[in-house]
Amino acid sequence: MKKILQITLGIVTSVGGFLEIGSVTTAAQAGAAFGYQLLWAILLGTLCLIFLVEMSGRLSAVSKHTIVEAMRERFGFPFFFIVLVGMVLVAFLVLIAELGGIGFSLQLLTGIGFPWWAVPVSLLVWLLMWKGTFGLIENGASLLGLVTISFVVAAIRLHPDWSGVAAGLLPAMPQSDKAHYGFIAVSIMGASISPYLMYFYSSGAIEDKWDETYVGVNRFIAGFGMTFGGFLSMAVLVAAALALQPRGIQVDDFHQSALLMTTALPRWGFYLFAISMLFACFGAALEVSLAIAYFFAQGFGWNWGEDLEPSKDARFSFVYTIIILLAAVPLLFGIDPVKVTIMSMALTAATLPLAIIPFLFLLNDPIYMGKHRNGWLSNSVVAIIIVVSFVLAVISIPLQIIGG
Amino acid sequence: MDLVRDVMDKKLVDRKDCEMGRVDGLVMHVGPSSQPRVTHILVGGTTPWMRLGPVFSRISARLARLWGPKRTEPVRIPWSRVKTVGKDIKLDVMAREAGALDWEIWISRHIIERIPGGGTEEEE
């Protein structure tokens, strides 16, 4: 039972990694522009993510080494450094977007412009990491994140045509606007398969002191957690298809996304949307900042742990302090978080192969994995994900230029 | 033992299981008549950056002179202090005395301890 309660790690990873400003924006764009047609992209992203997250957790539980640690050990410092640069750059943009998302939600609730929120919001995120424990962040963020279930309520209240929804789960090409369709599909994949999410989850497994007995639980947590996130993303898409597409609204900014909730729930929708986004982006901001600090500490062999007093892991605490401070700066100058989001998702897609290829080697390494090595199914899935990630990497930037 | 597979980049832990960096480099002694022999493990300093290229190593040396505990040389740990080589490498040294925590202590004293709630790095 105690092990099952660790489901919170799955939920926080999923809400923070899945249902944040990136996924909501892309899913809303997809629904508004193409109806249910792009549901398959979320389904595919979710399936890939379930496997990758399960492997991240299994590696940690069996070897007591996170993905980053094992990557540095197996591939050496130069490879680690290249991934570090790519990952930190992308994660930093995501952090700016999430802090901006929190600011936007507060702007919806209070009417005070989002640049004013940059400093207080960053300070609050930092304070939680500075004083809080991993358990507090994990349980608090996943509990608050449950508010996002309101997206499902909104979708159901709009009475979707279920046969249309089912048809959308199968990939199909649209008659027109193919470049834009492709761009959104790539963005959805980029928003779903975020590497920082795997680094966070595998570090979380170490923070929660998992061992080999967690292999089965991990499978359940990864499966359930990511399905939960994917399901919510699909709900956003469905609600957008019903609320926005008939009125011809294209989602270019955050305010328009609120309409997908207010149409279904006229009285409470607006507040539910703002609060859902607030909590989801908050969870994501914590997750990304921690993932960046974990990445540095594990790669360089520093002592780390969210439960330690900051002075006991000074370099680790220093990294997240600096990163959060820096991320507040562009927001102070009023940079548009939605633009940053879209850019960061295309970049995530472009750097994906670097993050995924190590999985194929690490999860088959007998020294790390013993008898819990990947089977043929997991290996085939990783191979397919690598191929998909290469395709995404090659087409993401050109598609952004012509379709974005 | 395969030096690249089993030793390079592995995590080092001291007598009290404190993490003290990773194996960034190795020093070998090549005598005129004897077999080559690993004598020291190198941690930190410019050693890892050297592996990326001389430019990175120069930049890191310059930055280290400007800022921080003014330590440019890597920590050298004699191979004789290696206890076991497994998933991690256990050493018969204390991280603090070996100098592997110089940066950690410097950042803690100069930055972290000065922020309220940071605590102190002093060991009990």
Nearest-Cα residue of chain A relative to residue B7: A73
d(CA A178, CA A152): 28
B124 in a structural domain = no
Give the CATH number, domain containing residue A367.
1.20.1740.10
pLDDT average, residue stretch A11-18: 69
| Distances in whole angstroms, Cα of residue A66 to Cα of each of A31, A51, A53, A119, B17 | 37, 16, 12, 32, 17
Residue A297 is predicted with a pLDDT of: 96
d(CA A192, CA A226): 10
Residue B124: band (very low, low, confident or very high) from pLDDT cuts 50, 70, 90: very low
* Largest Cα span, chain A: 59
Tens-digit pLDDT profile for residues A186-206 = 888 888 888 888 999 999 999
Chain B contact for A58, CB < 8 A? no
Residue A96 is predicted with a pLDDT of: 95
d(CA B34, CA B17): 35
Alpha carbons within 13 angstroms on the beta-carbon side of residue B71 total: 18
Residue A1 is predicted with a pLDDT of: 62
| Torsion, CA A217, CA A218, CA A223, CA A226, rounded to 10 | 130
Chain B contact for A175, CB < 8 A? no
Are residues B28 and B37 in contact, defined by beta-carbon separation less than 8 angstroms? yes
Nearest-Cα residue of chain A relative to residue B53: A78
User: How many domains in chain B?
Assistant: 1
pLDDT average, residue stretch A245-252: 82
Range of the domain at B40: 3-114
Chain B residues in contact with A133 by the CB 8 A cut-off are none
Tens-digit pLDDT profile for residues A108-145 = 999 998 899 999 999 999 999 999 998 888 888 888 88
Tens-digit pLDDT profile for residues A333-379 = 988 888 888 888 878 888 888 999 999 999 999 989 999 999 999 99
Determine the number of helices (DSSP H) and then strands (DSSP E) in chain A. 17, 0
Range of the domain at A324: 2-403
pLDDT average, residue stretch B37-66: 92
* Chain A, window 123-142: residues with a beta carbon less than 8 angstroms from a chain B beta carbon: 130-131
- The residues, ordered by sequence, that sit 6+ positions from B104 with a Cβ below 8 Å of its Cβ are A302, A303, A314, A315, B121
Chain A residues in contact with B114 by the CB 8 A cut-off are none
Give the CATH number, domain containing residue B47.
2.30.30.240
B120 in a structural domain = no
Are residues B76 and B27 in contact, defined by beta-carbon separation less than 8 angstroms? yes
Chain A contact for B18, CB < 8 A? yes
Best mutation target, A74, A129, A295, A303, to test chain B (most B CBs within 10 A): A303
3-state secondary structure of A232: helix
Tens-digit pLDDT profile for residues B69-115 = 887 789 999 999 999 998 899 999 998 888 888 999 999 999 999 89
Lowest mean pLDDT among A15-29, A107-121, A285-299, B53-67: A15-29
Residue A10 is predicted with a pLDDT of: 74
Query: How high does pLDDT run on average in chain A?
Result: 89
Chain B residues in contact with A314 by the CB 8 A cut-off are 104-105, 107-108, 111-112, 121
Chain A residues in contact with B120 by the CB 8 A cut-off are 311
Residue B122: band (very low, low, confident or very high) from pLDDT cuts 50, 70, 90: low
Chain B contact for A318, CB < 8 A? yes
pLDDT for residue A37 is more than 90:
yes
Chain B residues in contact with A81 by the CB 8 A cut-off are 52
Tens-digit pLDDT profile for residues A299-339 = 999 999 989 889 889 999 999 999 999 999 999 998 888 88
User: How many domains in chain A?
Assistant: 1
pTM above 0.80, yes or no: yes
Residue A348 is predicted with a pLDDT of: 86
Judge: B18–A303 Cβ closer than 8 Å, yes or no.
yes
d(CA A232, CA A277): 12
Q: Categorise residue B17: left if φ over 0, alpha if ψ from -120 to 50, beta otherwise.
A: left
- The residues, ordered by sequence, that sit 6+ positions from B27 with a Cβ below 8 Å of its Cβ are B38, B39, B40, B41, B42, B76
d(CA A239, CA A233): 10
3-state secondary structure of B61: helix
